[in-house]
Structure 1
Amino acid sequence: MLTQRDEYIAKMKAQLDEWNASISALEEKGQEIKEEARVKYEEHLSALHVKRAEGEKKLAEMQAASENTWEQVKLETDNVWEAFKDSYQAFLAHFK
């Protein structure tokens, strides 16, 4: 039987996989952008890579967290995920 922790970690893994696929699609789209806009596009894309790496780090921390520290790590992870989601949405809005 899956615990709440296991379910949360599985959900975060699935979300991370989804974001990885979205970032890959954005990288491909970036190849089609005109040169003057490409620099700004790549800067924003680089920032998304940093946020994604933070999410991967937090996921690893969650997996390694003890039962005593899991709730605190979960709260921190939620904040990282929200920051990534906000950055991703801003990126999409800016480059539509």
Structure 2
Amino acid sequence: MTTREAYIEKMKTQLDELNVRMEHLGNKAAEVQASMHATYVEDMAQLRAQSVQAIKKMEELKATGEDRWDAMVAEMEKVRDAFVHSFSYFKSQL
């Protein structure tokens, strides 16, 4: 085998190895994307549940009497703050 042929064979081997490694990396990236998608769906479901809870609490707040107003405002603020915090965290993960 000539030096030229040896060099070409060596380069082909190295490129083949890199392509195999690249394929493995691509598979891992696809797995990560799939797991991130599942996390995204889970997080969105939790955010939607918190949104529903906040809307329900708002309806309770609207219907509450003066005697429970201060307590309901405090509850509403807790629900809202939790929802805002969860949303901000979710957004920061994207």
Q: Percent identity?
A: 24
1:49 maps to amino acid = R
CA deviation string 1:38-85 (max 9, x = no partner)? 111000000100110110011010011001111100000000000000
TM-score scaled by structure 2? 0.62
The letter of the residue matching 1:74 is V
> What amino acid maps onto 1:44 in structure 2?
D
Give the corresponding residue for 2:85.
86
In 2, Cα distance between equivalents of 1:90 and 1:36:
18
Q: Distance in 1 between matches of 2:52 and 2:73?
A: 16
Match in the other structure for 1:11: none
- Structure 2, unmatched stretches of 5+, are 1-32
Q: Which runs of 5+ in 1 are unaligned?
A: 1-33
The count of corresponding residues between Structure 1 and Structure 2 is: 62
Counterpart code for 2:63? A
The alignment yields a C-alpha RMSD, in angstroms, of 1.0
Amino acid across the alignment from 1:56: I
Please give the residue correspondences for 1:57-68 in structure 2 after superposition, counting only pairs within 5 Å: 57-68=56-67
- Corresponding residue of 2:21: none
Counting helix residues as a fraction of each chain, which structure ranks higher?
2
Greater Rg, structure 1 or structure 2? Answer: 2
Residue number in structure 2 paired with 1:45: 44
SS where residue 51 of structure 1 aligns? helix
Higher relative contact order (CA 8 A, sep 6+): 1
